[in-house]
Structure 1
């Protein structure tokens, strides 16, 4: 079986390596205004996000409410609850930092582009995938900071929900609303040049990742993580993905979902957005050096979800119509 190499994933690996060897261009002493470029870029990302959202499609998508409820519940409740189960096991400050990174991953919204693409490949319910991936990003603006606030408010970490939401309103909500208002006029333009806008999104994400890892490498943030701990993090991410994936499959079967809806629920409900994760981390964690640890789980999860879902989607596309249940838990 042939796997298509994800160029964005390769770009992330390349940019992290570049940050390791050339941290001076993204660190505190950098002559480049990467922080300002990143802030403007984040606002533009969400402006284009709002510009591409169709209010009509969102209204139409509300009809399949059971499917939407399963996906959003898993995205914003099941994921965090699983991570919360490990909170009593924390012993050191390093354990807590890694756990916070996992909670951040667990509370993120679903990703739009890859969710829709994978559902399309697997012959699932594409309109429902578009609706859920789109609405998930809007819900995440509110829910993600709330989950983090439960555990960061009473620590030495600077985390003021009022300040956080002020930044989110300015950098995220206002651009999204402006994009939605301009959708009737420029929506067709955004769809026509969607590939270029996606390239812009990825470029800003790579810039933020580069700056974050430059600061982390400069301050030796990763010195507390050895090879064994890194492998444990990877194994935990693998386990988290499959618990949610098969959990959604079980619930979908009990609710009598069609195979198309089940595919959509499992593909969208297990996705976590690297784009939202990167831009949210920039706002929620003001300390640039801490962002390296925060972004590590979501970057690994991003690679894992692409690899596994690509494999499953390809097999799902080849399923026999008379016996469609394949790899989706009975």
Structure 2
């Protein structure tokens, strides 16, 4: 029965369905002419506002407090910005046999993107791991990624990537870093408002990303770049990404064990160190790759859905670990005195 229930309700993220629907809309009705200019301008403004909100939300005090667990955060950052990119560079040997050069560039960009926050926290909590550590690790990764991802992209992609140039870094500063810094500066005045309207602004976040996706994929359709992706190449990309995810899940779990982290920390490291952020990657790709962003973000979109499905299964299994169940029994609160008295009376009566 469990298998049938799993088959009927796969862990598909509803937002991924919206993203796929947006891709379909861009494929059928891409913006052209004046409409394309309007969509591009709106997308640019949406990206800037998105990173302004990121800056307004980030609590500097919480980030500094989280540095106390520096070994865990250093491990997650190393997995995200060192191990992942090295694996991405190694995948270059698959071109042109399994991957085309544009798809490989997108895969390589995927390995440079920071970790997720929300899903890392959710899966860590589900698996009975160190949730505060997952919160800090995801936040640090996102903050570092705003600075480090464009620099890594310049180093490993350079002029070899279609659409990527040194001018892209200027665009990153103006569209990403400046709004983010402005959000940090204004946080003392607008932080409370942002916190109170977190759900509404979350819808603005997601709507902005959908607009970015529509604009990027619409440009790709108009320019005919989708003729470069065949079903065979797409299957090859999915295979490579499945192997990449499996390797990172194994490295983060067994590597954290070798570094002598306890179980709760290992859970946080696995889920924060093996995942990539779609929310951060899409706007960055739009700025860095411009008209060629459609192929650049395709590997990231596929990897994001894959990591959600796989990590949902792993988190459920981790929650049933004997070590996790034993920890729950140790941390479970004692029943109230009245309840203990009632139990004792019932026992004596029985």
* TM norm structure 2: 0.85
Residue 220 (structure 1) shift: 2.2
Q: Distance in 2 between matches of 1:220 and 1:324?
A: 57
Say whether residues 1:96 and 2:94 are aligned partners: no
Identify the match of residue 151 of structure 2 among 143, 146, 170.
Answer: 146
Whether the 8 Å CA contact 1:285–1:291 is kept in 2: the answer is: yes
Which deviates the most, 132-141 or 259-268?
132-141
Counterpart position of 1:122: 127
Aligned partner of 2:169 among 154, 159, 165: 165
2:26 corresponding residue in structure 1 = 19
Deviation at 1:91, TM superposition (A): 3.9
1:106 aligns with 2:108: no
Larger Cα-atom Rg:
2
1:17-42 CA distance string (max 9 Å, x none): 1112112xx24552661111111111
Q: Which residue of 1 aligns with 2:201?
A: 197
Q: 1:247 matched to which residue of 2?
A: 251
Check whether the contact 2:172–2:288 (CA below 8 A) recurs between aligned residues.
no
Question: Residue 30 of structure 1 aligns with which residue?
Answer: 35
Does the aligned pair in 2 maintain the 1:109–1:272 contact within 8 Å?
Answer: yes
Question: Cα offset for 1:184?
Answer: 2.9
Counterpart among 316, 319, 322 of residue 320 in structure 1? 322
Distance 2:192 2:263 in 1: 32
How far, CA to CA, are the matches of 2:92 and 2:259 in structure 1?
31
Could you report, residue by residue, the CA deviation over 1:112-131 in whole angstroms, capped at 9, with x for unpaired residues? 22222222222221221111
Say which is worse superposed, 140-149 or 206-215, in terms of deviation. Answer: 140-149
Task: Name the counterpart of 2:51.
Answer: 46
Structure 1 unaligned residues grouped into runs of 5+: 326-330
How far, CA to CA, are the matches of 1:322 and 1:135 in structure 2? Answer: 26
> Could you tell me how far apart the structure 2 residues matched to 1:314 and 1:7 are?
20
The structure with the greater share of residues assigned to helix is 2
Partner of 1:258: 262
Q: Which residue of 1 aligns with 2:346?
A: none
Q: 1:259 touches 1:324 (CA, 8 Å); kept in 2?
A: no
Count, aligned residues = 320
Q: 1:212 aligns with which of 209, 213, 216?
A: 216
Give SS of 1:30's match. Answer: helix
Does residue 76 of structure 2 align to residue 76 of structure 1? no
Structure 2 unaligned blocks of 5 or more: 1-5, 328-350
Deviations 1:244-280 (A, max 9, x none): 1101111101111111111110101111111111111
Confirm or deny: 8 A CA contact 1:43 1:175 kept in the other structure: yes
Structure 1 residues 308, 155: closer, same or farther in 2, change over 3 A? closer
Structure 1 residues 165-184: aligned runs within 5 Å: 165-184=169-188
Instruction: Please state whether the residue corresponding to 1:64 is helix, strand or coil.
Output: helix
- Distance in structure 1 (CA, Å) of the matches to 2:228 and 2:156: 21
Kindly report the root-mean-square deviation, in angstroms, between the aligned alpha carbons of the 2 structures: 2.3
C-alpha deviations, 1:208-235, integer Å up to 9, x for none? 1111111212222121222111111011
Match for residue 328 of structure 1?
A: none
Cα distance change on mapping 1:208 and 1:156 into 2, 3 Å:
closer
| Structure 1 segments (4+ residues) deviating >6 Å | 322-325
TM-score scaled by structure 1?
A: 0.89
| 1:283 equivalenced with 2:323 (yes/no) | no
| SS of match in other structure, 1:108 | coil
* Corresponding residue of 2:303: 301
Q: CA separation in 2, counterparts of 1:323 and 1:64? A: 24
SS in 1 for 2:114: coil
Judge conservation of contact 2:80–2:112 (CA < 8 Å) in 1: yes
Q: Secondary structure at the match of 1:285?
A: helix
Which range is displaced more, 97-106 or 309-318?
309-318
Separation in 1, partners of 2:274, 2:204: 25
How big is the shift at 1:304? 0.6
Deviations 1:84-112 (A, max 9, x none): 113244348x7221111111000001122
